[in-house]
Structure 1
Amino acid sequence: MTQMINSRKARGLVAVRADAGSDVKALIADLNKDWSEFKATMADKDKELAKKFDDVVTTEKLDRINSSVGDLQKAVDAANIKIAAMSVGAGGDKPVKDREYSDAFMAHVRRGDIQASLNKGTDPEGGYLAPIEWDRTVTDKLKLVSPMRQIASVQTISTAGYSKLYNLRGTTSGWVGEKAARPETNTPTFGSMTFTPGEIYANPAATQAMLDDAQINLESWLADEVQTEFAYQEGQAFISGDGTNKPAGFLTFITGAANAAKNPLGAIEIKTTASGTAITADEMLELVYLLPSVYTAGAGWVMNRTTQGVIRKLKDGQGNYLWQPSYVAGQPAQIAGYPVTEMSGMPDIALSATPIAFGDFARGYLIVDRAGVRVLRDPYTNKPYVMFYTTKRVGGGVNDPQTIKVLKMKAS
């Protein structure tokens, strides 16, 4: 097994297949083969530990297989994204609704030309409002590559902010006789929360010669460059952003965190582990049962790849592994029967850290997109490159804290 893994790493099998378009069935077959070997090696390790003997060779072998399983699962996830991207089509074959304006936008990208008659795309600062088709392309790509956008709700707005009204209940009732008086009962109260977009930007560059001679689809190229930067910035903010000129991350809404009192429905409930450095299977299952059953149908796990490697070793009371790999194309890995979304920005397992979240993020977290993308063409700052300063206003915050639970490591 050791030779097989070393050979696989040497040949870059995972990377080669992923870059080549990923034969998903072959990847899944390799993944499940390695998963079987992982379980067999873990059984050997359990026998050693039962005898109070820890063979370093078995430990190293287990770690290598665990890493290989993680690599293959990541490759399967990447292949699933590519399949989804192909179904979206990035807008390339979609009919253009506003051909005149789209052509003018491309002329602006290539040469900086702006037609005065198309002033809906200009402003006094020299910005250029991207056409709807391009805006949709960026949005579609972001949904594919941004983990939070895959599981959260997204609201597009055309104003400076979005306010949500919450019913805080409070209605009372009472039993009365047939002829008894009906005194007034308490009425419900309401609370509100405003989701204010911050501005996110990307600044890709191309030489003027490339723009003049390019046979590529410039819209697609620019969209790819923009979504790479946007996805990175968003990914961090949706998890731990402080809400100042950026989204408020969901981890800032947990009990005791900076935004714990911001949502009228309260803070996200936490479960604290018994250890500051280890997580048990029971604690994972208890987190599931901490979530009200009305929200479990759409629930899933959020954690980073390192944490998944730790959870992969956990078993329930019947000896079954909590983590299970993908078995068919389009299916993510699962823990205790619920899908796992890998978010690299989630904390690692450490004292006082919050490495795992579980819940229905479609109900729990709201992303707010301010409609419209602006592109400022700058051929002067970095000659011979033409910079495309691209901005979009994005906000986010916890919509319903009752639908998300977080596992927090013990402080010491």
Structure 2
Amino acid sequence: MWKQFLSKLPHKSFHSDASLDLTHLPPGNNGTGSVNGNSIHRTSSDNVVSSRSTTMKRTASAIFPSSVVTSAEPLLLFKDVPNAEKQNLFISKLNFCCHVFDFSDPNKNSPEKDMKRQVLLDLIGYVDAGTSRFTEPVISASCKMIAINLFRAFPPNTRSSNGGGETEEEVPVFDPAWTHLQLVYDLLLKFIESSSLDGKIGKKYIDHSFIMRLLDLFDSEDPRERDCLKTILHRIYGKFMVHRPFIRKAVSNIFCRFVFETDRHNGIAEILEVFGSVISGFALPLKEEHKLLLWRVLMPLHKPKTLGIYLQQLTYCVTQFIEKEPKLASSVIKGLLRYWPVTSSQKEVMFLSELEEILEATNTAELQGCMIPLFHRIGFCINSSHFQFQDWIKTRLTSTMQQLQYSKK
């Protein structure tokens, strides 16, 4: 009897589709982009033709479970919803992009990655349009999604720090998740630059913790990521004035840790490039805090053996101080003599090149206070038989003679 009764009940199919619960995916890296001007350029694959929302709904239901995609709302296009619902759709898309994929295998979860990429492009387009002012829930959700995708621990650097010369950069390592990280960086840049972002609300979420974790990313081995961070840090410094002292202090700590502890960091040149712009904006007369930055942070950066990688940016920062306050020139030259290398001819040539630029920005009165130790050191260089010194001296003497002949005319 029971068998007859059960045989009449409809049988539930146990054939599942290719659904995947994204909440159980292992966390992975995401990707970055290089910056040129005010935008982060994406590859040509960004020009993906948007599918109709109905098609995307069917695709979503075939890949994601209903617990992840609620009626496929995140995949709707902004033009298909009323203006009053666009910010809710924006938050829905942000939540959709909080799922992080593993990019170590390019063939793994390809449909899901493509779908997330398309949603990120939609988000960038909406922010770029700037049609409405961002509410606090939008700002909160944006910072949360950006933090989940960008902030991550880098694997231990197994490459030897003793390889290569003092000016030789190691072969860059490119993050396989670049295609997604690049879009997230682009979204962050446009989000910060947008006039729709209220700075008073934004500073609550782009806070000290957010900035510190952003600065940690400068140690990325991918130069494209460091380029993105360079522009974004500059925009944050410009937009959120309340965070400026903290940024200067945090950057100073990075430099000091590099000089006195680790002797290794991938992003010193990029951070110095941002700092050069910061120094050029210092008001006159210079504050004591800013002078301490020169003595305690910038001058010790001449000590590491990898000086050649960031020498150009460091020289620019130092000369900016002298141009703003010429009285600092004598102390800067004495500081340079303090860290003068005595065992590396290659590094001595770098010091001479920097010294040349510093002297061009120094007036005669300030040179009097350091002339004796300066020429004593230059005399040692002239007496050196190393070919690098001979070539440098020959070039500089020829240039000096030409300038003297021109001035006599």
- Bigger share in strand: 1
Per the normalisation by structure 1, the TM-score is: 0.20
- Bigger share in helix: 2
Per the normalisation by structure 2, the TM-score is: 0.20
